[in-house]
């Protein structure tokens, strides 16, 4: 298992929640949750990201040091831990065990996402910068668990637009380029011996190709080409290194796991298929060399088991750990000792250590022990119909003490997700819990284009920013109002990234719906957005033009759907937050919107953090943002002032 891996016909009758019908006519419940300090939702975890050394003797984890998340290591059965990194400017972005003695970690500067790779011994000694190049981004291709001194990385050092693969000696820092990226390769695939054998590329701007070679001595050859809407995504090689396990939607709507023969260019077998949802995950046992699970998300994550041993392991863990969601996040090399993570909609959960030889399960740590799940709000899956007849799935979180039967005229925060080709799923969301704790119902929806619901639902979003994608959000708000849950005078909209765009679009195109809006690193101008993307996105521009719109061919539409050109329609107050070093949504996106609003005399609150990028990672910046957001929502939804 590789580490660091790292989308209106209003329903006027009663609300349908997976076949259950509820009436919303009773008076609001009067119970109130205990008010929890804002900082408790957004402070750094006590301990998180636990991993186990390959020999199973040591545990590593991230924990705060001077308000930054750093790497610690302890003996598996010991109490004290050694801090092996001492970063004070920014959190460690990710880390893993390279071998039993040495760990590798990634960090960037001020949120620029130009990650550099560093190595350090498990005792904190011999820190070494391995890819510390200015303006260069490091990606992990293969951690090579069977080759202790080497990893395979990607660097855009030679050409900022593309990543070349390198074999890196983590002891000496020596690197060998394994192939020169011709300019169109977007991903590399190694076999189980750590040999670079396949690649995914772009051809003619909108066609994806799979390239293959028999050995590293051979040249890559294209074996299959498809329009990007028709996907064949290689995950890993079969265990004889001859064929490829992939996930594909070729000749189907929903993605399914398949075996692909790169020598014939054909899919030989469909391993599992789900008629409602895309399969998006495949897992295997490196030691036993068997495929174990396929995973997909309905309203929760679901698994299909290929392997009896893996199924028995999960069933045993579920019996011991109860109703929580369970994930196996790491194991030692013999696959005898495992790190288990639990979570739910009301809990960030805990980490456990499981010894399969002795059938022992022990808790290592709670992630946020200061948050009592009994004081958290439950998140319920819901669905409604869009105006053109699509089923839109989403989640509704009501304040503690309220139920579907007793909720009327609540203040609501509408929270569209980012991406936009992403999806919301069930689990603990500190933003949602914070807003619910402050008395707001929180409404999340997987508008068209959200992933996991098949090709047709995804394609329905193409060139629909600010149009039918936004209509799906609007229809959801109207649905909540029709149900009597939402007070139509107290609805706000908040989102980040694409969700920030949707916030601005909602405030400009449907100003009558919203009493306030919070835009967090959101796009305001579709022209300038596509002109300021990171260089390594440039090979994907033709796809973006087809999915979002072409700046010349679709210029009238892009102007019509860029909120910055319609700032005169905004009626409600707006709060905008932005990271100065954001490589995805340039600070100019927020600057333009603020300037346009100030010219009209519209109330706008603007927060810029000079040491942040696409979202605030530093704890003190999170506190500033959510503290300001709390006051803003209280004032404009409840008419209250929040005191310090």
Q: Can you list the alpha helix ranges (DSSP code H) found in 419-521?
A: 430-437, 455-459, 468-482, 498-509
Residue 344 sits at the vertex; the CA angle it makes with 343 and 348, to the nearest 5 degrees, is: 50
CB 154 within 8 A of CB 179: no
The set of residues, in sequence order, having a beta carbon less than 8 Å from that of 48 and lying 6+ positions away, is 61, 62, 63, 69, 351, 367
CB 202 within 8 A of CB 209: yes
Q: Please state, in angstroms and rounded to a whole number, the distance separating the CA atoms of residues 83 and 70.
A: 7
610 catalytic per annotation: no
Burial environment of residue 30 by CB neighbours within 10 A (0 to 12, 13 to 18, 19 or more): exposed
| Token pair in block for residue 472 | 């799906």
Task: From the candidates 497, 524, 562, 590, give the one annotated as an active-site residue.
Answer: 497
CB 202 within 8 A of CB 134: no
Q: Please state, in angstroms and rounded to a whole number, the distance separating the CA atoms of residues 575 and 530.
A: 23
60 catalytic per annotation: no
The set of residues, in sequence order, having a beta carbon less than 8 Å from that of 9 and lying 6+ positions away, is 385, 386, 387, 389
Task: From the candidates 393, 566, 614, 636, give the one annotated as an active-site residue.
Answer: 614
590 catalytic per annotation: no
Q: How many CB atoms lie within 10 A of CB 359?
A: 9
Q: How many CB atoms lie within 10 A of CB 530?
A: 18
Task: From the candidates 330, 347, 582, 636, give the one annotated as an active-site residue.
Answer: 582
Host H or E run for residue 301 = strand 301-305
Packed helices 468-482 and 498-509: angle between N→C axes, nearest 10 degrees: 70
DSSP state of 572: S
DSSP-assigned beta bridge partners for residue 446: 393
| Token pair in block for residue 219 | 């040249």
Question: What amino acid positions are annotated as catalytic residues?
Answer: 497, 582, 614
């Amino acid at each position: 298992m590789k580490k660091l891996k790292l989308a209106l016909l209003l329903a006027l009758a009663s609300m349908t929640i997976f076949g259950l019908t509820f009436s919303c006519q009773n008076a609001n419940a009067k119970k109130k949750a205990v008010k929890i300090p804002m900082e408790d939702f957004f402070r750094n975890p006590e301990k998180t990201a636990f991993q186990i050394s390959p020999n199973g003797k040591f545990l590593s984890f991230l924990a705060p040091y001077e308000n930054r998340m750093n790497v610690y290591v302890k003996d598996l059965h010991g109490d004290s831990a050694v801090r092996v990194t001492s970063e004070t400017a920014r959190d460690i972005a990710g880390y893993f065990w390279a071998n039993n003695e040495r760990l590798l970690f990634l960090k960037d500067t001020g949120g620029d996402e130009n990650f550099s790779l560093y190595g350090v011994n498990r005792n904190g000694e011999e820190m070494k910068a391995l890819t510390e190049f200015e303006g260069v981004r490091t990606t992990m291709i293969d951690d090579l668990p069977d080759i202790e001194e080497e990893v395979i990385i990607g660097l855009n050092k030679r050409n900022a637009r593309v990543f070349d693969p390198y074999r890196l000696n983590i002891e000496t820092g020596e690197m060998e380029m394994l192939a020169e990226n011709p300019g169109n390769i977007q991903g590399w695939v190694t076999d189980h011996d750590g040999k670079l054998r396949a690649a995914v590329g772009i051809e003619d701007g909108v066609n994806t190709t799979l390239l293959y070679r028999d050995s590293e001595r051979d040249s890559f050859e294209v074996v299959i080409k498809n329009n990007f809407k028709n996907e064949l995504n290689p995950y890993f090689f079969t265990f004889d290194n001859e064929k490829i396990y992939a996930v594909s939607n070729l000749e189907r709507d929903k993605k399914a796991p398949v075996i692909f023969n790169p020598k014939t260019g054909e899919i030989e077998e469909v391993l599992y298929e789900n008629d409602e949802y895309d399969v998006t995950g495949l897992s295997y046992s490196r030691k036993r060399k068997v495929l174990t699970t396929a995973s997909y998300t309905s309203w929760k994550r679901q698994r299909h088991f290929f392997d009896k041993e893996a199924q028995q392991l999960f069933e045993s863990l579920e019996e011991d750990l109860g109703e929580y969601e369970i994930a196996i996040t790491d194991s030692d090399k013999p696959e005898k000792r495992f790190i288990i993570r639990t979570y739910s909609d009301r809990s960030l959960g805990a980490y456990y250590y499981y010894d399969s030889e002795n059938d022992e399960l022990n808790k290592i740590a709670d992630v946020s022990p200061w948050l009592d799940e009994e004081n958290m709000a439950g998140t319920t899956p819901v669905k409604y119909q869009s105006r053109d007849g699509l089923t839109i799935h989403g989640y509704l979180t009501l304040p503690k003490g309220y139920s579907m039967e007793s909720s009327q005229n609540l203040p609501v925060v509408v929270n569209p997700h980012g991406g936009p080709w992403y999806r919301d799923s069930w689990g603990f969301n500190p933003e949602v819990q914070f807003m619910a704790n402050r008395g707001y119902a929180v409404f999340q929806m997987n508008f068209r284009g959200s992933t996991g619901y098949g090709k047709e639902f995804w394609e329905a979003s193409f060139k629909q920013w600010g149009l039918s994608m936004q209509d799906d959000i609007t229809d959801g708000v109207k649905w909540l109002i029709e149900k009597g849950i939402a007070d139509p005078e107290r609805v706000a909209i908040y989102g980040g990234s694409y969700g920030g765009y949707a916030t601005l679009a909602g405030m400009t195109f449907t100003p009558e719906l919203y009493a306030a809006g919070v835009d967090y690193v959101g796009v305001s101008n579709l022209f300038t957005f596509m002109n300021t993307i990171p260089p390594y996105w440039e090979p994907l521009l033709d796809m973006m033009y087809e999915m979002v719109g072409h700046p010349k061919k679709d210029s009238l539409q892009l102007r019509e759907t860029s909120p910055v050109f319609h700032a005169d329609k905004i009626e409600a107050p707006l709060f905008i937050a932005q990271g100065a070093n954001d490589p995805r949504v340039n600070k100019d996106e927020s600057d333009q919107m603020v300037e346009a609003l100030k010219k009209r005399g519209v109330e706008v609150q603007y927060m810029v953090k000079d040491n942040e990028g696409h979202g605030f990672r530093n704890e003190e910046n999170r506190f500033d943002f959510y503290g300001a957001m709390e006051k803003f929502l209280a004032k404009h939804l409840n008419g209250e002032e929040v005191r310090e």
